[in-house]
A and B are shown apart, each in its own frame.
Chain A
Amino acid sequence: MNQLVCLPQPGAQILAARLVVPLGSHLDPPGRAGQQQLLAGVLTRGCGSLDAEAFADLVEGLGANLRCEAGDDLLVVALKCARADASTLLPLLLQMLEQPQCASSQVGLERDLNLQALQRLQEDPFHLCHEQLRQQLFGNGPYGHDPLGLAPQLASIKPDQLKQAALHLPQACAQLVVAGDPEASLLERCQARFGQWSAAAMPEQSVAPNPARSLALLAADTEQAVLMLGFRTVGLAHGDALPLRLLQVHLGVGMSSRLFQVMREELGLAYDVGTDLPARRRDSPFVWHLSTGAERLPEAMDALYGEWQALHQAPLAEAALALAKAKLRGQEALGRETGSQRADRLALLLSHGLPADHNERALERLASIGPEQVQAVAQRWLLEPSLSVCGPASALVKAQKRWDQCWVQAPAPVL
């Protein structure tokens, strides 16, 4: 059911809005990786009676920021503008999804730009390592590729296919969140129009089977080796999502985090070290990452192995868990300062079918989570590691050897 929610900021001269539909790159049809991101880009290239040039004239002429992007789960239109311009721009957001032009010339241009961006990203060893890890964790299923797509498939997408995909945009489960001080009549007009949306859902893609333990190596002529250790875990609404978030914060958020302390402060192995756990509708990947001098790759693997084992073998110390909880509470507070931040998080929660106060409820539940529960969650979800390494070929040979020596044998799951 469509929802339009306003986060009121009386007197605010800036208005932020997020229009979100659950049409992210996980719905890219087989053989068309990159379709949804291409569609998102084309939405800013004309709608209704405005062609690409007139559209840009209008938005840029008002000095507004307007982005449209497909993430893994969601297609998001993000707007920031002066309060006075909202009466023009909020209806425009709706029209972008209702009546996109998808002109063939604009589809071709946007597709070429995305292809070139994909090519440029090959320069970045972190991107290469991450894409390899996506394959390990998700194969050719949803989440298996960057939203930008895979070059040969993206190149084959036709304007007509994009027009078909665009028919799904005005969905009955879209969310529009506005932060600021808009006129009530404007919101009413938007609500009346928005309530009419009823497009059919896109077909879900089949999920790849759970990944087996794997090492993947990619040779690059770099000074450093990039390491990413990944696990496929649970979606945002799952009961284990909160203990997993605590583990992620414990391991990799801030300078007091475990991986930062071990890899950087004790061993001097890396400058950049951390963890990611993007909030997904399902199967969120939990990624531990660092880059280190190629000659120290085996040492870094050993240290990562030790940290992974430790999570299985013993519960976190009470102090470490308390620190992770404090950091999580802090993140929550620091991350809802601006209208854009608040609109972003609310649109995300509503899109995943969660209540608006999901995060507050989670913070209340934090107190009751003990070290044993966190350990049990680690034992459940961090069982089968996928390790992706990108670096010089000579170092990769050593990585394979290290993997065969110790990573292949399971940590005896403590059950």
Chain B
Amino acid sequence: MSRPLAVLRPALGFPAPIQASLSNGCPITLLPLADASVVCMEFWCRAGSLEELPGESGLAHFLEHMVFKGSEGLGPGAFDLKIESLGGYSNAATGFDEVHYHLLLPPEGLGLACELLPRLVLQPSLEPAAFQLERQVVLEELAQSEDQPEELAFQHLLSQACGSHGYGRPILGLKPDLLAHTPHSMAAFQQRNYRSDRCAVAVGGNFDPALLLAQLEAGPIARLGRAERDSHRGTINFQAGHQQLVLPRLESARLLMAWPCPAAGALDALMGHELWATLLAEGRRSRLVEELRENLQLVETIDLDIHPLEEGSLAILEATTEPENLPRVIKAVQQVLQGVQGGISAQELDRAKRLLGHGHSFGLEATSQVTHQLAQATLQGRLLDLDAPLHRLENWDLQRLQALAPVWDPAHACILEVLPA
């Protein structure tokens, strides 16, 4: 692989992460921490739900379940049993852009983890009987999520905002598709996406880097070939608009608003949006919380979160209110967003920078947290010093941030009013 590796520095009390790659180019990032009491290993792959072709919805997530049903010579549950017998813990998660597998265990377990996890992830058995049974489990997971009206509302907003783009489709999949999947179709998805140029590994904790690299090189990750074609890099065709949704079993009304934001790779631009979201809705002195919850007392909660995504991030506002107050909430949000067009203060910017900067440092306290960040950055080819976000914050002054204000015009937003039936 020809990608030049940036020279990394020690930062925030951590040593410089070691960058390496296996003989087939698969990137590995290691963070040896001599006094850590645990080791964390993360395997990431660009095989999220975005990679699903028509009819494949839910396959990325279903495959993540099937991985734990065993591999050759490793029966269903055998992996969990071995890891948990060591006092370790494993988990996995499927997103739109990526899937990742996570292990946290005492240092003496790393050798075994390093032998078993790549086999499990890259050579799943996909036995028909286990496949049928696990489909039931996935269908129960879907039913459980659909019994939460808040989840339904959120999914509705995404499909309204993102239209036919993959981000508008539920990660858990559509029921008819789930019922039609076969071990064969899953294997095809697996072989198409779990490739050397679409995977990354990061390990943090107390271990010997040379030994670990040798072990990974001897395993199945190093034998992966490259993907047959590049992953598509499209963008969301964001759809602004205003809709209503009526849901049974909803008790409080919701106002959901989404705005398009720069893609996850546009680090600097996205930081500007993060600052705005903090200034608008983080803490009691933020504009929206202060006005809607503290002064007008119209909402129970109001949040504004940036969801970084590879093909176009989203800023999503969610407010909880009494149904009869919903029209007033919409109006008040509009007024606050118009108000900030007139200017923000130096004090507000300073407060937002501190909240974001400390939030970043606070979020790297545990070995698993820092390993998680390193693994994702490695996969997406943007591994930087751990304190890089703090430097990026300094790029933003009042004038530059103020110029971004028009982004929050409600006319650019996708708005969903959600009301109880």
Contact = CB atoms under 8 A, between A and B. Distances in A.
A333 B86 CA distance: 11
Contacts of B294: 52, 109
B285 interface: yes
A329 B322 contact: no
B137 A270 contact: yes
24 contacts: A13-B13, A14-B365, A53-B284, A56-B285, A61-B354, A65-B358, A80-B362, A112-B297, A116-B252, A120-B300, A123-B149, A223-B147, A224-B140, A224-B144, A265-B77, A272-B141, A291-B144, A326-B84, A326-B87, A327-B84, A330-B89, A337-B37, A337-B367, A340-B365
A119 B251 contact: yes
Interface in A323-372: 323, 326-327, 329-331, 333-334, 336-340
Contacts of B136: 268-269
Interface string A198-242: 000000000000000000000011111000000000000000000
Contact of A64 (B134, B250, B358, B368): B358
B88 A272 contact: no
B329 to A, nearest CB: 13
Contact of A268 (B133, B366, B367): B133
Contact of B320 (A116, A221, A264): A116
A270 to B, nearest CB: 6
Interface of B: 12-13, 36-38, 68, 76-77, 80-81, 84-90, 104-106, 133-141, 143-144, 146-150, 248-252, 282-285, 293-294, 297, 300, 320, 322, 347, 350-351, 353-359, 361-362, 365-368
Given A56-B284, A63-B355, A222-B249, A333 B37 contact: yes
Interface stretch (A68-76, A253-261, A407-415): A253-261
A335 to B, nearest CB: 10
Interface of A: 11-14, 52-53, 56-57, 60-65, 80-82, 109, 112-113, 116-117, 119-120, 122-125, 220-224, 254-256, 261, 264-265, 268-272, 291-293, 322-323, 326-327, 329-331, 333-334, 336-340
- For the complex, would chain A's binding face be called helix, strand, loop or mixed by DSSP majority? mixed
A11 B353 CA distance: 23
Of A60, A261, A339, most buried by chain B (CB within 10 Å of CB) is: A60
A14 B364 CA distance: 11
Given A63-B354, A272-B144, A333-B106, 13 more contacts: A61-B347, A63-B356, A82-B361, A120-B252, A123-B150, A220-B249, A224-B140, A255-B68, A261-B77, A323-B84, A330-B87, A337-B37, A337-B368
Contacts of A272: 141, 144
Contacts of A220: 249
Contact of A123 (B89, B251, B362): B251
Contacts of A53: 284-285
B84 A122 contact: no
Contacts of A11: 13
B355 A254 contact: no
A117 B355 CA distance: 25
Contact of B87 (A61, A120, A333): A333
Given A116-B322, A119-B252, A265-B76, A292 B358 contact: no
B90 A123 contact: no
A123 B249 contact: yes
Given A14-B362, A124-B148, A329-B87, A334 B140 contact: no
A334 B365 CA distance: 13
B130 to A, nearest CB: 9
B5 to A, nearest CB: 28
A193 to B, nearest CB: 26
A53 to B, nearest CB: 7
Nearest to A272: B144
Contact of A270 (B80, B88, B140, B365): B140
A223 B144 CA distance: 8
Contact of B144 (A122, A255, A271): A271
B369 to A, nearest CB: 9
Contacts of A292: 140
B38 A109 contact: no
Contacts of A120: 251-252, 300, 320
B291 to A, nearest CB: 13
Contact of B285 (A60, A65, A221, A327): A60
